[in-house]
Each structure stands twice: as C-alpha cells, then as structure tokens.
C-alpha cells in the first residue's frame, strides 16, 4: 500500500487558499489542479509499504509524535518544483519554526525506517509545502507562482500527524489510516 505521513490543515485555512487559487485555475491548460480535500503538508512520503509493517509503523510514528510539540503553521507564498520556469509541481509554502518542523519530519522518517518502511526520498532536504497542481511536462509556472507569492493565510496550531494511504488513478484519493497527537504542552514549556 502507498503511504505518507502528513499534517492536515484545518478547513478554514484550506478555504483561504482555495479562494486565492480559484482565479488561477483556468490557465495553463496542461496543469492538473489537486482537490482541496487532498491538500496536506507531507512530513514523510513512504511509498509502497507492506501491510505487515503497519503495526510496528504505528508504534514508531506514535513515539515520534510524542517527542515533538504542536507546530504553529501558516500557508504563505508559492513556488514550483524543480523551478518556476520549468515547473512540474506548483506549491504553496509553509511558514513555521523550520527547525522544529524539520525535526518532526526527520523523526517521522527515522521511525518509518526503523519499522521497515524507509522513505525513498530520505536524505533529501525537507521542503515543507502543499502541492496545488501538477503537469506531466515541464511548464513555465513563473506567473502563477508570482501571483501566489504574496499569499499569507491564517496561522493554526497542528497538534496531530496522520498516516495516510494514497490510491492513484485519474483522481488520486487519500484515506486516513491512523492519527497521533503531538506532545501536549506542559506548564514548564
């Protein structure tokens, strides 16, 4: 089964981003926009994972979540991978305590590796984002990225991470398998 671990933004935050992207959706035609209900902040893409790994994976991801505090996040800015001039993915950026968010992503990836589900892109620099659209061939996304560069959504506190199964097809769909709380704040923190 194809899996990833993510933070899911609240509906209000997604509504703001949807409103900002709505006027951009008509162009370019080769761009395939992802559905609002699919928008998420990936912490670790795990790829194909044997179902027998799931029990240990759940234990390890729960441990990883308990080691990290809730994350203050907001969606802000935009860009394209690998570059705006030859983009294949249009994304919205994430504002956060980058050190804390990267530590959480690294902890999730390490837990997955220990459970036997090593992320195929482990070792690559973590770049937090929400994928907005994809295209099969490199396309100039400079104008779209520039139009969204000034976007700044509401701040929210992410207090959970989720293990999600991804089913590919004409319209990819996601199913949440499990969810774990991040470490609760205490008076001493």
- Of 94, 129, 134, 145, the catalytic one is 129
Name the pTM for this structure: 0.92
What pLDDT does 186 receive?
58
Instruction: Examine the residue annotation and report whether 127 is marked as an active-site residue of this protein.
Output: no
What pLDDT does 96 receive?
98
- Of 6, 20, 40, 78, the catalytic one is 40
Distance separating alpha carbons of residues 152 and 104, to the nearest angstrom: 23
What pLDDT does 189 receive?
46
- Tens of pLDDT, residue by residue over 8-17, are 999 999 999 9
- Tens of pLDDT, residue by residue over 70-107, are 999 999 999 999 999 999 999 999 999 999 999 999 99
Q: What does CATH list as the number for 2-181?
A: 3.90.1140.10
**Where in the chain are the domains?**
2-181
Nearest to 63 by CA among 186, 182, 185: 182
């Amino acid at each position: 089964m194809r899996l990833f671990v993510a933070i899911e933004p609240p509906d209000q935050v997604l509504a703001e981003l949807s409103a900002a992207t709505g006027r951009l959706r008509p162009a370019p035609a080769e761009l395939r926009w992802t559905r609002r209900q699919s928008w998420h902040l990936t912490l670790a893409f795990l790829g194909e994972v044997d179902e027998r790994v799931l029990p240990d994976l759940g234990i390890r991801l729960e441990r990883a979540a308990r080691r990290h505090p809730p994350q203050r996040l907001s969606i802000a800015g935009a860009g394209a991978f690998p570059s705006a001039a030859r983009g294949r993915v249009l994304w919205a950026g994430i504002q956060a305590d980058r050190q804390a968010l990267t530590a959480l992503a690294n902890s999730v990836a390490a837990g997955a590796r220990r459970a036997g589900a090593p992320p195929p892109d482990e070792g690559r620099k973590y770049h937090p984002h929400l994928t907005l659209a994809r295209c099969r061939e490199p396309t100039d996304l400079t104008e779209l990225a520039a139009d969204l560069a000034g976007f700044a959504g509401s701040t929210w506190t992410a207090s959970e991470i989720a293990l999600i199964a991804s089913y590919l097809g004409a319209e990819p769909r996601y199913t949440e398998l499990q969810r774990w709380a991040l470490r609760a704040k205490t008076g001493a923190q």
